[in-house]
């Protein structure tokens, strides 16, 4: 389905459509985006945390066995990539219930084990195209089960039955999304995107790990995101200096999210290898001047 309202509207539509008949939604609390999904689900239905990363300051994803799902659970909600925290799920939870995934910031960057998922959603604006379109990929059985009592726009079956043309669609966003998919296909598809992502992020993590502690990743090694590489410098003053000098050198938008600070290199599909190379060159030069 091609919808509007961003991934944010899916924080509500998922529980509205799936948590029927007293069923519960389990949430992996892996960071700020998962928290927002959980907050909305808690308002609209019976939701509970199946794992909470707060104790480890959201520096990692759960190991598959860490997640606890109770009886009567309809789905386990996961955020495959925490865009702000810079952690990515590399091992899917071993749950007895279907997964629902917010893949806003890593969709189309790696293969998805679809057999585990009842529904996946993603705002388009990272790897799919411009903001304004939201992709929802769901099983027919899920879409068929939209409950009565929801407004039309909030029902998955209404959008499916109208071919995602129930109301005026964001045609420009969808048109560019189509072009982006063709571009991905021409590059070699998801497999090529995955290889490129690993190469780009690998370069930056190497620069961090090889910096003798000047650059520091706050993220557990097994949960490192290939899409959003976050790192710190020895002080916030140096971080400011780094960001200012980077911007002056044409490397823009490297600020960490305002809620966490630090540096964040977002390496979405559209970022070429040359972008990552330019960043690590700059990092080496900056370290040489300041270490």
Question: How many residues bind ligand PMP, per CB under 6 A?
Answer: 10
Phi, psi of 179, deg, nearest 5: -65, -40
Cα separation values, 70 from 27, 116, 143, Å:
11, 18, 24
Q: Which of residues 83, 88, 109, 146 is near ligand PMP by CB under 6 A?
A: 83
Q: Does 79 bind ligand PMP (CB under 6 A)?
A: yes
Q: Does 223 bind ligand PMP (CB under 6 A)?
A: no
- 3-state class (DSSP) for residue 189: helix
Nearer to ligand PMP, 79 or 217 (CB): 79
CB of 33 to ligand PMP, least distance (A): 4
Q: Does 33 bind ligand PMP (CB under 6 A)?
A: yes
Nearer to ligand PMP, 205 or 268 (CB): 268
Q: Which helix (H) or strand (E) holds 38?
A: helix 32-44
CA 129 – CA 200 distance, rounded (Å): 20
Task: Report the helix count and the strand count for the chain, using DSSP H and E.
Answer: 8, 11
**Residue numbers annotated as active site:** 33, 102, 126
Stretch near ligand PMP under the rule CB under 6 A, chosen from 4-12, 50-58, 91-99, 157-165: 4-12
User: Strands 73-79, 99-102: parallel, antiparallel or unpaired by DSSP?
Assistant: parallel
Give residues 98-157 in contact with ligand PMP (rule: CB under 6 A). Answer: 102, 104-105, 123
CB of 7 to ligand PMP, least distance (A): 3
CB of 123 to ligand PMP, least distance (A): 3
Q: Does 15 bind ligand PMP (CB under 6 A)?
A: no
**Nearest CA-CA partner of 227 in 259, 255, 204, 258:** 204
């Amino acid at each position: 389905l091609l919808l509007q309202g961003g991934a944010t509207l899916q924080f509500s539509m998922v529980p509205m459509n799936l948590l029927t008949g007293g069923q519960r939604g389990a949430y992996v609390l892996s960071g700020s985006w998962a928290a927002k999904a959980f907050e909305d689900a808690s308002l609209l239905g019976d939701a509970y945390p199946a794992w909470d990363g707060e104790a480890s300051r959201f520096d990692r994803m759960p190991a598959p066995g860490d997640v606890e799902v109770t009886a009567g659970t309809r789905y386990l909600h996961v955020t495959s990539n925490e865009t702000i925290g810079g952690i990515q799920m590399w091992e899917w939870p071993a749950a007895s219930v279907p997964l629902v995934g917010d893949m806003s910031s890593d969709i189309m960057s790696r293969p998805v084990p679809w057999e585990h998922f009842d529904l996946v959603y993603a705002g388009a604006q990272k790897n799919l195209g411009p903001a304004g379109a939201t992709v929802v990929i769901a099983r027919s059985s899920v879409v068929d089960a939209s409950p009565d009592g929801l407004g039309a726009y909030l029902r998955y079956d209404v959008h499916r039955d109208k071919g995602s043309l129930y109301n005026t669609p964001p045609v420009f966003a969808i048109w560019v999304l189509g072009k982006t998919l063709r571009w991905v296909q021409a590059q070699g598809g998801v497999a090529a995107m995955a290889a490129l992502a690993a190469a780009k992020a690998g370069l930056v993590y190497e620069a961090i790990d090889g910096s003798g502690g000047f650059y520091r990743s706050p993220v557990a090694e097994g949960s490192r995101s290939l899409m959003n590489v976050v790192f710190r410098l020895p002080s916030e003053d140096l971080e400011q200096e780094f960001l200012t000098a980077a911007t002056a050198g044409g490397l823009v938008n490297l600020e960490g999210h305002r809620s966490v600070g630090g540096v964040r290199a977002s390496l979405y599909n559209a970022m070429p290898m040359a972008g990552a190379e330019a960043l690590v060159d700059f990092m080496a030069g900056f370290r040489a001047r300041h270490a």
